[in-house]
Structure 1
Amino acid sequence: MKPVPFSLSLRARLLLASALVQIVMLALIIGHSTQFMNEQLAKRARLHLDEQKQLLLAALTGPLQRGDGTGIQAVFEGVRRDDGITYLVLYDQSGKVIAASGWYGEDELPRLDGSITDSRVMEKGRFDAEIEVAAEGKSFGRLRFGTSTAFMQAAQAELIRDNVLIGAVALLVSLILMIAIAFWLTRSLTRITHASEGLAAGDLNLRLPVESSDEVGRLTQAFNSMANVLQGRIKALAESEAKFTAIADYSYDCELWISPEGKLIWINPRVLDMFGHTPEECLGIQNFPAPFISGPDVGRTVRQVRRGLRGNSGADYEFRARRKDGSEFWAAADWRPIYDSRGGYLGIRISIRDITQRKEAEQRLESTVVELRDSQAVQQDYLTRARDEHARLSALLGAMDAGILFVSHDDKVVYSNPAFTRIWMVAPGARLIGRNPEEVLAGSACVLARPEEQAKRILHRPRAGEILGTLEIQMADGRLITQQVHSVEDVYGRPVGHLWLFEDVTRARQTADQLIYLAERDALTGLYNRHRFNEELGRMTAEAERHGSRVVLLFFDLDEFKYINDTFGHRAGDAMLIRVAGEVAGQVRRNEIFARLGGDEFAILVPDISDEMLQALADRITQSIAHVRFDFEDRSLRLTTSLGIALFPDHADNAEDLIARADTAMYQAKDAGKNAWRIYRSDLDTTQQMVTRRSWNDRILHALENDLMDLQFQGVYSTVDRALSHFEVLVRMRDKDQRSVQIMPARFIPMAEKSGKILDIDRWVLRESIQMLADVKSIPALAVNISGRSFDEPMLPQYIAEQLKRYGVAPRRLLVELTETSAVSDLHDAQRFIEALHQTGCGVNLDDFGTGFSSFAYLKHLQVDSVKIDGLFIRNLPNDADNQLFVQAMVAVARGLHKTTIAECVEDEETLGMLKSLEVDCVQGFYLERPRSDHPLLLGTSRLKNTNMALRFT
């Protein structure tokens, strides 16, 4: 410990007190000496003055008596030089200056002084006096003189110097004595002081020897006792502090002590782990604990601390704390006031703990509780919905036509619906629940058609991993029941039973068979249609190629069909086709395929037949048709046919070429005369017609594969407001060698129909048109003309629907046009085809209306939306009265059947005006515009913009 400064020690204070006493005493002595000195000086000054006066009177008496002025003056000079006289002036009785020395007449004499000890006299250094000069009773005048006070000042200075020297010596001797006495008196106190300082520095073993029994000795004993007590208490305090430190430092909480003024006094090391600050750093932080608190919670947390400093306790106060690195965590604090043993308020103790995990757990718990509540609500909703669903399911299962039987894992019936009871003819009211399923069926009134074959498979339980297909159960009463079995598992994959589904499919099977029959059969004759014929042709040729056998194709048509159809109408034509189909069917065996390909074309497929049997079959067919007597409305006709034969693989190595060879052979038969048949001969297949047909097939195929097909568009306009109604789409083919040369449809369409390529052309035109409708949404509807051969393509309406859906085109924007000739030749197929198109949402137009003899008669059977009057009636309309009547009649019939009318081939203004007067709805033709691939209206406008076109409507 540092020594106490001397100026503050007891020894210094004793010396200072003694010195002050000495100084006071010396001051009193010096003051008294000074007074005495002043009195002595005044006495000496008066004596000196009296001596000077006597001296002056004695010196002047003689010269005055003699009247010796020079003597007087000499006396004056001598006195001034030796006795400290500054001036002398002698007046006579009249006041006249007799003699003077040290004074000039022009100067005024100073005023006389009263006392030589006067302070003013000492200040000016001269005493001014005046005496009367007399001798022997005679007055000679008065003498003014000034004497110097220097002798007095010298005497005074000497006296002061002597007094000061005496006082200093006395003071020094006193101080030396007092210091010695003070050191001697305070040596024990110094030892006690040093011992106290050592004790304060931590030397608890320090003790002092007791050397006397006086007050110092008793003080030493008290010090030793105090040191013993202090050592014990400090030891106990250290032990207590060690325990406290052990508890506080190793606490999981951050413990801290804040003074009543809000200053941090102590904090345990846990703060480093929790906040990232050392205790030393925390003690130096200002505005504690704000830096430890996250921004949003600073205000309210500081307010809580201030409340605690007012003596309030708090617990579980939660706030967001901030670490040294800026990261945040959730903390909770408890605080309570601290008091000393006397009840003095010392501040508050705060315990802070990290509750991030608890907070996260609480948040998860809260979230879980919310989720549980939501789940409970959802479960309640699910329960309600499940009950509703159970009610609906029960009603649904009860209303189902399929019989349901559910058996638990212990092979007991758990559920069955009414349909099961009905299908298996179980007695109403019979108890089924809880019984074995075999016992249930034992009470059934059903009789199996083949019990020995089916009995073991009914109610068969599949093994693990076994998949059973649908079992068909034939009943003796003709019913057909299907059985399906499914293993049922719970959500954990554990088996809980089996579910059987029984369905009476008798009517559905009959309907399916009927649909298959309709899809494969010609609606008029009941024979196989072209679709089934193509399938069988492909199958037979594949088998023949695989087995090395051959297939014979017989191709024939009726020579008189067109005449009968045009003369007597489609009813007569249909009757003739039915009669011929019946006659020829009698000549065909079960393993042979007899099909109507369309119109009056028929084909027969015969697998692996000998030449003799083939010739016999051809003869029977031609003869059976020749023997047909066709009677219609009192008229009788005889029929003939032309039949062509081609063999696979003798004449062709694929189905397409085989049809072409048979078709060629049929024309070879026609060239030979009516009612004849011919086998294909390659040596006769060299005519320009046959070569041209094969060439066109190749060209069409090449055009489809190499993008040589083009579309052109011709507008169809309303006769009322001259607005564009829709476009007709026309197909053109470009020459493969000269792509700038366009080939008109009249040249390649008939060849495509003969070869079957027309179906590919139809699909291409439909697809391109639908894509254009999707690309340019502002253009009006497009009308696409398809071939009558498409009637034999049952999937074409579905193909149209798929393309419309694929490209997102509204079906009403696509119109499908069918020619009257193709529709009449296959009326039933046409009706079915038109109905399928209507189901897709497309419109249907009938093209070339009026070309048939009985057009008006069958129009009511074709549910088309519009009829297009054939150009035969439009050309030269203003000059042909008959055609005017026909057109007028067509419009009236169409309007009566709620169909719109379109006139084609409008080639002049006069024809256009007449069609408007006849109330034809729409028109098209070269007068209005020619077909174009770059039609301006495809850009999205709804009226003609081209000047040359627009002028024709004004």
Structure 2
Amino acid sequence: MTMDLDDILALAADPTPTSFESARARRAADQVLRRYADATAAGLDVVGDVDPSDPLTTVADEVTRIVRAAQLAKLGSVTWLADTGELTWSDEMSLILGRPPGAVRPSIDALFAAVHPADAIQAHRDAVRAWVRGSVTETTCRVIRHDGTTRYVHALIELVAGEGHRPYGIVATVEDVTELELARQERDRLARRRQTVRAEPPHADPVTGLLTRVRFTDEVERALRAGTGALLVVATEMVGPAEAGGSSPEAGLSAAVAAFVMQVAKRGDLCGVVGYGELGVLMHDTPLRAATARARAIVEALRGQSFVAGRHRLRVNAWGGLVRYRANDGASSFDLIIDAESAWRRAKETGESLHAWSQPAPADERAETCRTRVRAAVAGNGFTLYTQPILDLRLNQITRQEILLRPLNDAGEPVSPSPFLDIAERVDEMPVIDRWVLDRTLELIAQGPPTSHYQVNLNARSLDDPDLLGHVCDLIDQYGVDPRQITFEITETAIIGSRMQALTFANGVRELGCQLALDDFGTGYSSFSYLRSFPIDLVKIDGEFIVDLRNSPAAQAMVVSLVQMCRALGILTAAEYVKDGATIDLLRGYGVDFVQGEAVGMPRPIAGAPRSAEQSIVLELAVRGL
């Protein structure tokens, strides 16, 4: 608490301070004593002539010395007397408000006129609380100085009582804390940023512990830029049935095979997951002859080893594909992986354990190999369809199913679609796959309940096909499907790459009666503009905002704003990757219309879906509810 020169002179004239002056001096003493203790702890001598003692236990001159120290601290003071309603403030307070002392007559109106409008109500409440409750109240607010600049001030508001503890005024000790407040805000911002910044994708595959396909591809790319070496892709396949009953041993077998490959591989080689049953081994700075010998040893060791997975003792067959790389070959990491995969397939076809190439394949030859593989899968029904239920939060009932594609491996088992579809997209064969999906899906819908609704994904490349809309019309007529049962899902990528084609298709399917959904919403640069320019009926909020929604205030704010915006535009919303009931409750409270994910139901194969070219196509849709 500070006192001006007039106060000091008054005290000097009358050595017996009033109760009001004594209270002010005591507050000033407390403030200075705290500062003195901090300075002493830090080894500083801030005010050399101040004796840290209680001024009310010594002569009045000690009060003068304490007040002098308080003025050196540049603390302002505001005093209000209840009997007269008079408000005064010190010269230091004038300086805090950006005014020369005496330039403005102190008053309640002048004081609150200087407080930032957004903080004025709270500052007034804190002052009233101090008076009504008789307790010390602290508040931090902004003041707008005469020159228009804004400063943060901290006020300690205290009730002053006289004889008989009768309150007769309020005194506020005010300090400019702008630098401290800005530093605190920056610490809070950095803490929030650490919590909300997008986490780096996981490096390790959860089953095998090896590098994920994405991470392994990055490492291959880095090695390719750095020099020469060889890339091995090993494919494994379980031989015969398991020796003991129980749960499926595939996951345990994959982990056991991965551990064995890491053990056999040379120290320094990097291992990663390439695909289902496929492991990659990166042998950097290794000549072709040495890499070939090492690769053959790995494959032969796998063939001769038995593995224990749970209660199962298993053996595997293995084939290897090796390709040597140089920094100037012009091939990418994706190209090398494709070539190594093609090499192990060649080894399997020819009955070898390993097939090695001394250099990457020519680009046109590689592309043709990929196209042949994709077209063979389409012609041979090398896919199957899954459905995933979608919960309508308004009804708490499953009302929709999303149709999902799963490629089949050489054993006829469904596997993750990402590696295969990545290949198909790079060689522009996605339209062929999408047509396969459309043909089977429309037939499924025709055989399913007429009240169900189905969501079908379309790749961006397919929207470049000028005949796609006509093909959809023909299928609807052929199977007699109600177009209101269908929602086509497209991504922002489709709109960016083929804006006019995407708009033509969108308007066309809407005229038919189908609906349109924008998938993975919220991750692009211009998603919001598409909601106004495209006839979107449903927005699927990207799963990265949903997976940790309960623990992420940033994700919660994002989802709330997206839902509010979509609702204003008349667009439904759906959330993906919902893991638990608590997340469903949050989304329901936000006004999200649909949810899907583990908490609702995992993807399941459609009964009777085709599994090989020899099997007849008998399609029956199994619609599952809660």
After TM superposition, the score normalised by the length of structure 2 is: 0.41
Q: Which has the larger radius of gyration?
A: 1
What TM-score do the two structures reach when normalised by structure 1?
0.28
